[in-house]
Structure 1
Amino acid sequence: MTGPVLAVDQGTSGTKALVICPERGVIGSGTAPVRTRNLPGGRVEADPRELLGSVTDAGRRALADAGEPVVAVGLANQGETVLAWDPATGEPLTDAIIWQDKRAESVCAGLAPHAEELRRATGLPVDPYFAAPKMAWIRRHLTREGVVTTSDSWLVHRLTGGAAFVTDAATAGRTQLLGLDEAAWSARALELYGLAGERLPRVVDAAGPVAGTRAFGAEVPLTGLLVDQQAALLAQGALEPGAAKCTYGTGAFLLAQTGGRPRRGDSGLVSCVAWRLGGRTSYCLDGQVYTAASAVRWLTGLGVIAGPGDLDRVGATAPDTGGVTFVPSLAGLAAPWWRGDVRGSVTGLGLDTTAGHLVRALCEGIAAQVVELAGAAERDLGTPLGALRVDGGLTRSALLMQTQADLLQRPVEVSALPDATALGVGALARLGLDPRLPLPAVVPAWRPSAVYEPRVSAGEAAGRMGAFRAAVAALLERTP
């Protein structure tokens, strides 16, 4: 069956939907905002109904913009966001606990003796970032009723009128409840988290018929499901081992393809499912920076800049950071440190420090964390990464992208195709309609809109990275 597909990316701060035609490309788009609540104690929540409303609103706006019907729908999700809900009525029983939320630290602390066992079984460290600690926290503190799942299972249930209770293998892999090697629920992990009696969604491939949905108008099949960062990895054409991408959104997420077997290294990266297609699992290494665009929003809230579009203008008022070092761990340090308790820091301030210095230091702090992730991926893979393919809203900042190339000491290629996550899940929706298609045939052709080459010497880059690492070491020492 040919014709356009509707691809929906349900994200942290909003939902983006595209209508994608195999011949003409993107022919319609729509967006809808999502309000998250940042509360004391590292809590981050959203109203589940708002998540669902954003999906239907963005999808309908994209369809109206295209003015054409679609033949299938694909849905990408936030990954580690969870909620409890009633499977009989579909009504939420709790708010959605967003992936950035830290309230499950106590759950993780209690599992410290089993941390290595869980990492070996699931590929993930014990950290409140992942879904299982949040799920266990809900069961201990909020409700024992209904089911507790990642947000995708609830969204699919509602979109299909209760016809489907599923999650794709990559999203299931973000819980720390999925056995990495077999890509199936782990009885041992469920036992350790106190979730052994839970009713869990069926784990399905990323492409294939799930159920029909009338949420966007006439009934069409839902045929593509994938967690957001893996969808972007697919859209970036990272199909061969060693290919890597980084998405700069609310956080920054570097993924490197490892092929048909997981890599369990000791660098601090996560080993997880990239996608499962036709019953065959592909794996990737995954590293996270918790605050990227969210750090820019924080600087905006202080009045230093007017918004992300101001980074280059204000940054251009200073030739360098002026000796300022910014570790933007405003929601903790993720990979490779896994210290969610660490706060951010700005050091080297003086009476001559300007807004331009602060902006450059922020860009350097984000880029330096990505360099650490790339280095960890190279150690686990045992081979150097090539050029880094990047996407996401912050790639519009030439200052950030040039800083990234300088510190990384290799080219940074900015995707010419915006909305990589939606494009990736759109490709899966098409593949779900016709599984005979080869994967490269449904993935958008890769082309960069800009390539940033390093402009500084390796020695200068090493010196700047050394200053950042020293600042991180000082933070870790002050937070035992």
Structure 2
Amino acid sequence: MTGPVLAVDQGTSGTKALVVCPERGVIGSGSAPVRPRYLPGGLVEVDPCELLDSVIAAGRAALAEAATPVVAVGLANQGETVLAWDPATGEPLTDALVWQDRRAAELCAELAVHGDSLRQWTGLPLDPYFAAPKMAWIRRHRTGAGVVTTSDAWLVHRLTGCFVTDAATAGRTGLLDLDTVSWSPDALDVYGLGGERLPGVVDADTRVGTTTVFGPPLPLTGLLVDQQAALLAQSVTEPGAAKCTYGTGAFLLAQTGPSPRRGDTGLVSCVAWRLAGRTSYCLDGQVYTAASAVRWLTDLGVISGAEELDGVGGSVPDTGGVTFVPALAGLAAPWWRGDVRGSLTGLGLDTTGAHLVRALCEGIAAQVAELADAAASDLGGPLTALRVDGGLTRSALLMQTQADLLQLPVEVSALPDATALGAAAVARLGLDPGLAVHEAVPDWKPSAVYEPRVTAAEAGERRARFRDSVTALLDTGPAE
């Protein structure tokens, strides 16, 4: 039995670190904020040094609380956030362009003729959300110096001096061949990145190197992109099962097993993880704005924070006829229209802030329901339940709405911080190759199960209204 490990989840708005003991569970935690800059025109960027500082601060805080030595470190990352940096010194050459950043939209439009080929090679659509368009944008408009990579490769280099990325994170770039799980020369050429020095692609359970930033030397033995780390922690390891994480955005992933499944519903086909040389794949769908939409309502003064969703939204029986498409950063899967913006329809003089809150919960849940339907279609059979995690799962209103619109049970993880727990699992697997996956993952159990409380007919009507609003939004054309 291995000892405790330090698991670090470097996220969009903050970094969470846990000390996870095989026998006692979480024995220490720490966090540090990250403050991305949201700029006009859909630009989102952050100082890379803030990412590194948050990793160190959160990790040290978790270790201090645990007051117990750890034997290894695991790191989860944002996935599609990119920067250019100097591999000789480790110094950033640009800000980090966050996954939400849309500045590469024009470049994607220019490359649209290659869209089908890129999807076939890499499993990903041509969209600024993914890393490759942002990497190409940096090369065109910022600098040709150094290397341009996802943020995890830079963090790993600063922690250990090594130049690697895990297979699942590489799969979020749009540059990884989905079948061979190696860099695609064809995709690199399309993006004009053919001559780039790219990090080595390693398994999630790889002993990468050693770091001293947390104190005594510690091996870094686990690397995994955030949503796939949550998928692992939720024990979604068999084809047909699915999870959704409600964070800054909402992300639904469905396991497909040892073969990639290229569907036609608009979902992304990507690597779930590669462990001990064996690749598992998943389907992936995104809602760009979930907690970030709640923060938008908060900034408007409608509520004082996410903790008021239930109290305010629950004070009215329904949305009062209001439909909210919370596409505040564009529509992702299954529509892939990042150029559109959100809409509020059905407003009247009797509309209150409570109606807006309830309509937001319904809008998030309706988008996730569309993703679940798409996953079921691609998998060739219905999902049986949805396992969920993330901060917004604390909202009973949102979770009940999700169950109602899905017409499926919604099982809320009893273990918060699923992404960090997934990072802990791969760190343990990297430290002890004899460990089975089910032995490294915490026992999964729900803290609550929300069953549908409305009829299928009512759910269908509510979802049809949402789809009508999305259709109207798409028909209006790009946002100016």
Quick check: TM above 0.5?
A: yes
The corresponding residue for 1:365 is: 363
Matches within 5 A, 1:18-417: 18-160=18-160, 162=161, 164-417=162-415
Secondary structure of the 2:373 match is helix
1:69 aligned partner, one-letter code: P
Does residue 419 of structure 2 align to residue 424 of structure 1?
Answer: no
Secondary structure of the 2:339 match is coil
Secondary structure of the 1:51 match is helix
In structure 2, C-alpha distance between the alignment counterparts of 1:42 and 1:321, rounded to whole Å: 28
1:308 aligned partner, one-letter code: A
1:54 aligned partner, one-letter code: S
Deviations 1:68-113 (A, max 9, x none): 1100000000000000000000000000000000000111011100
1:27 aligned partner, one-letter code: I
Q: Report the alpha carbon displacement of residue 351 of structure 1 after superposing the two structures with TM.
A: 0.6
2:123 aligned partner, one-letter code: G
The corresponding residue for 1:440 is: 438
Contact 1:81 1:99 in 2 (8 A): yes
1:250 aligned partner, one-letter code: T
Contact 2:20 2:28 in 1 (8 A): yes
Contact 2:412 2:446 in 1 (8 A): yes
Q: Report the alpha carbon displacement of residue 288 of structure 1 after superposing the two structures with TM.
A: 0.1
Deviations 1:317-336 (A, max 9, x none): 21100000000000000000
In structure 1, C-alpha distance between the alignment counterparts of 2:80 and 2:166, rounded to whole Å: 13
In structure 2, C-alpha distance between the alignment counterparts of 1:377 and 1:137, rounded to whole Å: 31
In structure 2, C-alpha distance between the alignment counterparts of 1:34 and 1:457, rounded to whole Å: 42
Secondary structure of the 1:208 match is coil
Secondary structure of the 1:41 match is coil
In structure 1, C-alpha distance between the alignment counterparts of 2:170 and 2:195, rounded to whole Å: 17
The corresponding residue for 1:468 is: 466
In structure 2, C-alpha distance between the alignment counterparts of 1:470 and 1:298, rounded to whole Å: 23
1:76 aligned partner, one-letter code: A
Q: Which 4+ stretches in 1 moved above 6 angstroms?
A: none
Secondary structure of the 1:450 match is strand
In structure 2, C-alpha distance between the alignment counterparts of 1:234 and 1:285, rounded to whole Å: 14
Cα RMSD after superposing both structures: 0.6
Q: Report the alpha carbon displacement of residue 396 of structure 1 after superposing the two structures with TM.
A: 0.2
Contact 1:404 1:412 in 2 (8 A): yes
Deviations 1:37-57 (A, max 9, x none): 000110000000000000000
The corresponding residue for 1:449 is: 447
Secondary structure of the 1:470 match is helix
Q: Report the alpha carbon displacement of residue 2 of structure 1 after superposing the two structures with TM.
A: 2.0
Secondary structure of the 2:210 match is strand
Aligned length: 478
Secondary structure of the 2:57 match is helix
2:114 aligned partner, one-letter code: H
In structure 2, C-alpha distance between the alignment counterparts of 1:43 and 1:19, rounded to whole Å: 34
Deviations 1:207-247 (A, max 9, x none): 02000000100001000000000000000000000110000
Secondary structure of the 2:207 match is strand
Contact 1:18 1:29 in 2 (8 A): yes
Deviations 1:245-268 (A, max 9, x none): 000000000000000000001000
1:151 aligned partner, one-letter code: S
Contact 1:208 1:435 in 2 (8 A): no
In structure 2, C-alpha distance between the alignment counterparts of 1:437 and 1:246, rounded to whole Å: 27
Runs of 5+ consecutive residues of structure 1 not aligned to the other structure: none
In structure 2, C-alpha distance between the alignment counterparts of 1:316 and 1:360, rounded to whole Å: 7
